[in-house]
Each structure stands twice: as C-alpha cells, then as structure tokens.
C-alpha cells in the first residue's frame, strides 16, 4: 500500500516536471516546435497508474510506459530503447554501426570512443545487460557485445550514448555477455565463442584440436580486460550467480569440431563454472601468462579455477533464477533444460561431489529450448524454437517430477509467432523479478504483418504473465535482428535532460579548443594550423555563431559546434553539404567532425535537426578557394 502511494507520488512528480518542460518550450516562441500541451495529456498521466494495474499493453497518447526495454539490434549493430508495455520505440543508440542522424562513427568524439576499431562500420550486437548493485539494476550502464568484431561496448545511461568500446584480444567472436550481480558490477563477463589457435599468427590451420576459446572478465569502470581464462571446448552464453562467487557458461562444441557434423557428435557437452575468488587469487599469485597485454589463466579441464558439468548435447542459453538457486542451461538439441544447483558448487569445487551431482533436474519441455526467463512466483518460461512455443513451468514441481514424484510441472504452452530465440520477463534477470510481462523475441514473422518484400521483420511479442495464464497481447515488428532485451522499471532510470558542460565524451575536444585559445562557449573563430583548419562555432536556435568561413582546397577542416541552448529537446545539427559530414549537437553539448575540403566553390552548411520555426534558415557558407 505504501509502495503504491510512493508510485502515485512519483507519477505526480513526473507530470509536474513535464508541465515545466512544455511550459519552457512554449517560452521560446517561434522555437516551440515541441508537441503542444493539451489538458488531456496531463489528465492522461494520472490514468497511467490504472493502466499499469490492469496489465493492459495500451498506453494512451501522452502517457508514459512503466518500463524501459533495452533491445539489441543484432547485425544492425545498435541498441534500441522501447517503452513497455506500449512497445513504442523511444530511441536508438548507435554503437557498432554508423549513424547518419547522430554522426556516430563520423564525429571525432565517436571515433575516439571506438578507438582501434574506428575504421569498422559494422557489428552484430546480441546481449544488452545493465549494471547492478546487490542484484538489482542500478541505471548506470548498459553493456553490449559485438560478435562480428570481437568487441564489447558500454552505454552510459545518463545520456544514453556509448562511451567506451574495447576489442578483446586473444579470442574471436564475443557472444554471451552478462554482468557480475553481487555485490555490484565490478566485472562484465563475456565469452569468446569461436576457438582459434592460441597464438593466431597464420601458421596453424591444420590442428583444430589445439584451438581454444577464452572466458573474458572486463573491468566495468576502467574498461579494460581484467583477465581471461582459457577453457576446454568453446563458449556460448553465460550468466552470474547472486552471491558474487560463480559465473557459468554453456559450451556446444566440446568436440573442437570445425564443421557441423563434428560439432554435434558428442552426446554431451558441458557447462563450465568459474570461481571468481579462485581466479582472482591465481592472478594475485602470478599464475598467469601475458598474452597481448592481458593476464591469461588456464582454466582447462583439470584446473582448480573451473569445473565442467556435463549436460545434454549442444546447450545454448544460460539463465540464473532470480531466487539465486539455479543456473538453467537450455538444451537446444535436447528437449530439456538442465538445472544446476548453485548451493552445491562449493562442494563441487572442494571435490566433495561429482559434477553431475549438482544437477537438480533435467526438465523435459519440448523441442529446441533456447532461453529461459523467470517470474516472482517460482515459474520459468522457456522458448521452444522448433515448437514455436513458450513453455511455462514450475521450477520446484519440475524438480519433484525429475525425482520420480507424479506432479505436472508444465503450467501452459503458448504458441508464439514464430521460432522464438530469447525471451525476457520484467526485471526477471534481477532480484526484482515482478512477473508482469514477458517478451518473446521471435526470429520469423511470416504472416503476422503486411508483406514488405522478401526480407521480413522479426516479431517481438508481448505476453501478459500477471495472471495464471500467459496472454499474448501485442505483436511488435522489429528490424534485423534483436536477439535479446532486458526490462528495467522506470524508477531505476534517471537520464539527463541536458548535457553537462564538463562531460567526458567531449572533454578532449574542449581541451583542443583551449590549446587553440578558444572558449567554445563564447568564441566563433577559425584557427589555421598549416593545412589543418579548425572552425569553432556556437549554435543558438535559429543561428550558428558563424555565417561564413574560408578555407583552401585540400585543407583538412574540423568543425566544432557548441549548442548553447539550454532548452530540453532542442538539439541542433551540423551538416556540410556534399561532404558526408553531419552530426547531432545536443543541448549544452559540443561535437566535432573533420572532412577534407576537396572541391572549390561555395558550400552551404546547415542545421539538420529540426530546432525552430526558422530551422531552414539556420545555415551558412564555406568558401573553398581553389588550390
Ligand atoms: S543468443 S537467440 Cu546471442 Cu540465443 Cu541469439
Ligand atoms: Cu538548429 Cu535546426
């Protein structure tokens, strides 16, 4: 009851802030391009509470969603934010892709963040996961892998921009990624999926038995590889426990096969469990070797750092139950999910029991189990790829049945459309699992939407799980290819409304300006440095601080724009026509872009983010004098 009151108070606050926000926009006169305020909009906010309680996906115009959903964009390389339950797409965060709206991959700031992979414009993002404190989302970072180019990236949730990227050495294809949940996310953990020669110098193609995969432990704050662990077999998905002690990963290629036939020969593959304390102790004791600047531990079979638990053939998803009791390894080629009892892992590491003694149950569910999500009532939800279904099952009943009792643990099977991969419950990967919503990320949509040519969208379906029965309530077409999502209650999130002038993302640009004797908040100046020209200008709707500048043909021109507007939602842009140079400049941000002025003549530059009634007039000229 008390909690509910707080919630209502919160909604009240939000609507108060929104009132101010719209009021402020209205003040900027011609610049008031933001949606006009209507009485209905504010009345609607009060209604939001009722909408949540009813478990309806309908969120009326002007109403706010209860949850943020962070979606990976698959081989589009980005991360997307959706509101849940409306499934409205709220924002895209370019990460491994290049984005012409924001200039991600084009601006100097984004190139610095991308670092050694700034020249790579493609990626394959699978698994977005948020940083945690004591097993709850803390709203600070979202981490994401790039399978295609062996990278991991960090998104800062205060500005919803990628601020760190890292190419992981010694491995190939970062797949499964999760975070340490307890006591806090000190480490991001991720798997090198493809086995490669340990020294991959081009001399060894014919000895695949010697190829290895590594488990990677990344320091979430310093953003460097803390250490790597060589394993036997490959690695697919991973998750952490709720005690801060163990990480577990699935392996589907214990055979070290290099073709399909070889990869699926063994009847059993395994889950490998890593002891964090033992790994850290080994690092302290110097029991590592350095490879390409990273401390590498040996965790292959027989090592004290790891334990290998045999499970049926080719497991895929790895999911920890929110009560902290089980690691669930999803069978894929086996119709089962293997439940590993986390409380037994201490004994396993002390060699008091055998690996298979940790198996609490091998739960038969249906064909092609890939991933499992959980509610707060002891139920699990497993995607069955081949059956195109989600199986809802009760965990404790399944264990009883596995031990020979006559209980029906399957609660329901729901058809989904079609072939689901991941699924996710609201806050279900944290201690705060609340059993309200389930998303099924279906790989095929087939007949569910108007046909749009040979390439079809995927289908992310929203399922109400608040009652005894799962109810499909919404079909959501998505572009290639969200693998995974995570659902965060909005109370955990506090994104900024404006940039702060001391933001680290553009600090280097400001430092460059200082060296040039330029105060970017005041000055509109051209600095010539041989063939390099730096143009500093401000922007205030609807004007750039500089209407014209002159350079010589062949000059390398860097334009630095500082948006002095302090009004929420008034983003400017800078685009130099015919030069492939364009970028977003958010309110109170500084951004820069560099291009070669290779054609003589007059070139207009313009603001490409609609900011004002006189937005079209917000432009200026660059004169390029012939060489
Ligand atoms: S893993 S379903 Cu990256 Cu399952 Cu895609
Ligand atoms: Cu400034 Cu459009």
CA torsion 327→328→332→334, rounded to 10°? 110
Q: Give residue 206's pLDDT.
A: 85
Q: Alpha carbon 291 to chain centroid distance?
A: 28
Residue 51 has pLDDT above 70, yes or no: no
Q: What secondary structure letter does DSSP report for 168?
A: P
CA distance 79 to 118: 18
> Is ligand 1 within 6 A of the CB of residue 443?
no
**pLDDT digit string, tens, across residues 400-442:** 999 999 999 999 999 999 999 999 999 999 999 999 999 999 9
pLDDT mean over 332-336: 94
* Ligand nearest the Cα atom of residue 611: 2
Q: Which residues are annotated as a binding site?
A: 126-127, 175, 252, 255, 263, 269, 314, 316, 371, 422, 443, 458, 483, 572, 607, 609, 611, 615, 618
CA torsion 292→294→300→306, rounded to 10°? -170
User: Hey, whose CA ends up nearest to atom 1 of ligand 1?
Assistant: 483
> Is ligand 1 within 6 A of the CB of residue 370?
yes
Ligand 2 atom closest to the CA of 571, numbered from 1: 1
pTM: 0.92
Residue 22 has pLDDT above 90, yes or no: no
CA distance 486 to 376: 16
CA 445 / ligand 1 centre spacing (Å): 17
* Ligand nearest the Cα atom of residue 147: 1
> Taking Cα atoms as reference points, which of 185, 176, 84, 71 lies closest to residue 137?
185
Residue 191 has pLDDT above 70, yes or no: yes
203 pLDDT band, cuts 50/70/90, is confident
CA distance 29 to 111: 37
**pLDDT digit string, tens, across residues 73-129:** 999 999 999 999 999 999 999 999 999 999 999 999 999 999 999 999 999 999 999
**pLDDT digit string, tens, across residues 452-468:** 999 999 999 999 999 99
* Ligand nearest the Cα atom of residue 252: 1
Q: Which residues are annotated as a binding site for Cu cation?
A: 126-127, 175, 316, 371, 422, 483, 572, 607, 609, 611, 615, 618
Residues with CB under 6 A from ligand 2: 541-542, 572, 607, 609-612, 615, 618
Contact call for residues 336 and 318 (beta carbons, < 8 A): no
The CA distances from residue 337 to 147, 318, 379, 391, in Å, are 25, 10, 13, 11
Residue 29 has pLDDT above 70, yes or no: no
Ligand 1 atom closest to the CA of 237, numbered from 1: 1
Domain boundaries 67-492, CATH class: mainly beta
CATH superfamily of 506-625: Cupredoxins -  blue copper proteins (2.60.40.420)
> Is ligand 1 within 6 A of the CB of residue 422?
yes
Q: What is the number of H-type helices and E-type strands within the chain?
A: 8, 41
Residue 609 has pLDDT above 70, yes or no: yes
**pLDDT digit string, tens, across residues 298-329:** 999 999 999 999 999 999 999 999 999 999 99
* Ligand nearest the Cα atom of residue 563: 2
For 347, list phi and psi in degrees, rounded to 5: -65, -35
Q: Give residue 55's pLDDT.
A: 64
Q: Give residue 57's pLDDT.
A: 84
Q: Are strands 306-312 and 471-478 parallel, antiparallel or unpaired?
A: unpaired
> Taking Cα atoms as reference points, which of 348, 332, 344, 347 lies closest to residue 386?
332
Domain ranges within the chain, ordered by starting residue: 67-492, 506-625
Average pLDDT of the chain to the nearest whole number? 92
> Which residues are within 8 A (CB) of 507 and not within 5 positions of it... i.e. 6 or more apart?
none
DSSP string, 33-93: -SPPP-HHHHHHHHHHHHHHHHT-----TT---SEEEEEE-BTT--EEEEEETT--EEEEE
User: Hey, whose CA ends up nearest to atom 3 of ligand 1?
Assistant: 126
Q: Give residue 17's pLDDT.
A: 56
- Give the relative orientation of helices 2-27 and 39-54 as an angle to the nearest 10 degrees: 150
């Amino acid at each position: 009851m008390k909690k509910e009151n707080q919630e209502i108070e919160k909604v009240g606050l939000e609507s108060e802030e929104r009132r101010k926000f719209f009021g402020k926009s209205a003040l900027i006169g011609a610049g008031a391009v933001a949606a006009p305020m209507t009485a209905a909009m504010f009345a609607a906010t009060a209604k939001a509470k009722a909408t949540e309680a009813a478990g309806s996906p309908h969120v009326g115009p002007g109403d706010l969603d209860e949850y943020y959903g962070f979606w990976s964009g698959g081989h589009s390389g980005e991360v997307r934010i959706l509101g849940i339950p409306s499934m409205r797409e709220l924002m895209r965060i370019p990460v491994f892709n290049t984005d012409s709206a924001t200039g991600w991959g084009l601006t100097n700031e984004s190139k610095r963040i991308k670092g050694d992979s700034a020249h790579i414009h493609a990626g394959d993002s699978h698994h977005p996961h948020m940083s945690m404190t004591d097993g709850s989302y803390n709203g600070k970072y979202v981490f994401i892998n790039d399978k295609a180019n062996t990278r991991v990236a960090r998104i800062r949730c205060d500005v919803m921009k990628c601020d760190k990227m890292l190419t992981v050495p010694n491995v190939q294809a970062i797949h499964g990624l999760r975070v340490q949940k307890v006591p806090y996310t000190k480490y991001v953990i991720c798997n090198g999926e493809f086995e490669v020669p340990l020294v991959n110098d081009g001399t060894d193609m014919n000895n695949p038995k010697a190829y290895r995969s590594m488990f990677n432990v990344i320091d979430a704050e310093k953003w460097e590889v803390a250490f790597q662990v060589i394993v036997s077999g490959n690695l697919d998905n991973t998750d952490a426990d709720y005690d801060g002690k163990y990480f577990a990963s699935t392996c589907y290629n214990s055979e070290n096969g290099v073709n399909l036939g070889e990869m699926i020969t063994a009847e059993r593959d395994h889950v490998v469990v890593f002891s964090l304390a033992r790994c850290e102790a080994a690092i302290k004791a110097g029991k590592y070797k350095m490879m390409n600047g990273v401390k590498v531990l040996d965790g292959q079979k027989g090592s004290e750092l790891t334990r290998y638990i045999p499970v049926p053939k080719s497991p895929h998803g790895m999911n920890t139950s929110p009560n902290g009791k089980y690691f669930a390894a999803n069978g894929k080629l086996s119709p089962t999910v293997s439940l590993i009892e986390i409380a037994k892992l201490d004994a396993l590491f002390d060699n008091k029991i055998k690996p298979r003694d940790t198996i609490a149950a091998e739960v038969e569910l249906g064909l092609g189990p890939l991933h499992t999500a959980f509610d707060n009532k002891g139920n699990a939800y497993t995607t069955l790829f081949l059956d195109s279904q989600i199986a809802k099952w009760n965990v404790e009943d399944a264990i009883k049945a596995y031990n020979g009792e006559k209980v029906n643990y399957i609660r329901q099977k729901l058809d989904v459309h079609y072939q689901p991969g991941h699924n996710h419950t609201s806050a279900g990967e944290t201690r705060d699992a609340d059993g309200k919503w389930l998303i099924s990320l279906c790989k095929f949509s087939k007949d569910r939407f108007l046909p749009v040519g040979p390439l079809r969208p995927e289908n992310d379906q929203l399922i109400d799980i608040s009652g005894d029965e799962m109810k499909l309530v919404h079909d959501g077409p998505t572009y290639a290819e969200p693998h995974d999502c995570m659902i965060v209650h909005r109370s955990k999130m506090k994104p900024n409304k404006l940039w702060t002038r001391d933001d680290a993302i553009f600090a280097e640009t400001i430092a460059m300006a200082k060296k040039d004797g330029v105060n970017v908040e005041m000055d509109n100046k051209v600095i010539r440095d041989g063939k390099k020209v730096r143009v500093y200008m401000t922007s205030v709707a609807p004007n750039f601080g500089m209407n014209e500048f002159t350079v010589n043909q062949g000059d390398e021109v860097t334009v630095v724009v500082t948006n002095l507007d302090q009004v929420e939602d008034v983003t400017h842009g800078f685009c130099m026509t015919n030069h492939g140079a364009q970028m977003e400049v958010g309110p109170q941000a500084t951004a820069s872009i560099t291009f070669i002025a290779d054609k003589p003549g007059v070139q207009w530059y313009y603001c490409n983010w609609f900011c004002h009634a006189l937005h079209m007039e917000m432009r200026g000229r660059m004169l390029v004098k012939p060489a």
